């Protein structure tokens, strides 16, 4: 959470219009993509918001949906603010499940 706040403050100081929630959502998506890249040893699949802050869709190399990740509570941002480490572990577990199924 501290890193997200620092990044938000940096954007604000640079005059970039953003919200803390937007920074958190981008961090969640970036982390999910990094986990996919690590699990596949390359950038073959893509993570994108199917519904911002509520559902991440995983696309295969040809852009076909192969999996979805949802938050534990109502939103990923809420999960992140409650316990960022727990959310990251959940993302990792969900990514691994999708990779193992395909």
| Range of lowest pLDDT (23-27, 53-57, 89-93) | 23-27
Using alpha carbons, select from 60, 61, 58, 59 the residue that is nearest to residue 91: 58
The full set of domain ranges for the chain reads 19-101
pLDDT tens digits, 1-39: 577 677 767 767 778 777 878 889 999 999 999 999 999
First to last CA, the chain: 32
pTM of the model: 0.87
Beta bridge partners of 58: 47, 67
According to the model, what pLDDT value does residue 64 have?
A: 98
Q: What is the pLDDT of residue 13?
A: 73
* pLDDT attached to residue 18: 77
Nearest CA-CA partner of 34 in 18, 49, 45, 25? 45
């Amino acid at each position: 959470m501290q890193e997200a706040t620092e990044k938000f403050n940096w954007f604000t100081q640079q005059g970039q219009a953003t919200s803390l929630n937007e920074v958190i959502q981008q961090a969640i998506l970036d982390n999910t993509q990094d986990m996919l890249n690590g699990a596949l040893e390359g950038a073959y699949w893509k993570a994108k918001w199917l519904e911002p802050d509520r559902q991440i869709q995983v696309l295969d190399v040809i852009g076909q949906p192969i999996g979805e990740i949802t938050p534990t509570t109502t939103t990923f941002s809420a999960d992140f603010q409650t316990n960022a480490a727990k959310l990251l572990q959940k993302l990792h577990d969900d990514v691994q499940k999708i990779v193992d199924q395909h």
